[in-house]
Amino acid sequence: MTQDSAAETVRLIKKYPNRRLYDTCTSSYITLADVKQLVMANESFAVVDAKTNDDITRSILLQIILEEESANVPMFSAEVLSNIIRFYGSAMQGVMGSYLEQNIQAFIEIQERLLAQSKHVYGKPVGPEAWAQFMTVQTPMIQKMMNSYAEQSQKMFTQVQDQMQDQVYGLFSAFPFASPAKEKTHKPKE
């Protein structure tokens, strides 16, 4: 697929200075709720500022998340949001974004497998009511599984961090400015 054909499949939405969103595909003005429906339908789209032509898709998606967090049962606690904010500007910002993206993708894959298994068992897709009942029963098990996954991820990250630290100390140990603190920790006990 060429870059031009990929660009043609993306639905273009323009945001005008009057804060209105214009869907160029349907030639009509739309709301954030309509954009949310595009997201829910897995439809590819981009939102651009009509005046500057800057891509503001992320900004619009963040507005949708803000509305959802304000209107319904929030997904994020104040503590989680505070922790996310603390990552901005830190050396770990890029790592955190990638980590969240990979974990959300893993969760989506788990959800898709559960849906496929339920379709295989019942011979048809499970309706929203049945799925809600199933999730009510399975939520503790899924939370336990996700907690176990998070613990394993934390252990692996700690191991990688320790290995990297040992490699850095090994690399710099030949230099006269090597840290005496590390040398003390590796001295054999007398």
d(CA 152, CA 135): 24
Average pLDDT along the chain: 81
pLDDT at 84 exceeding the cut of 70: yes
pLDDT tier, 85 (very low <50, low <70, confident <90, very high otherwise) = very high
pTM for this predicted structure = 0.64
d(CA 22, CA 12): 9
Q: For residue range 10-36, list pLDDT tens digits in order.
A: 999 999 998 899 999 999 999 999 999
pLDDT at 185 exceeding the cut of 60: no
For the residues 95-119, what does the mean pLDDT come to? 82
Mention every residue, 6+ apart, whose C-beta is less than 8 A from residue 10: 44, 45, 46
**Predicted local confidence at residue 32, as pLDDT:** 95
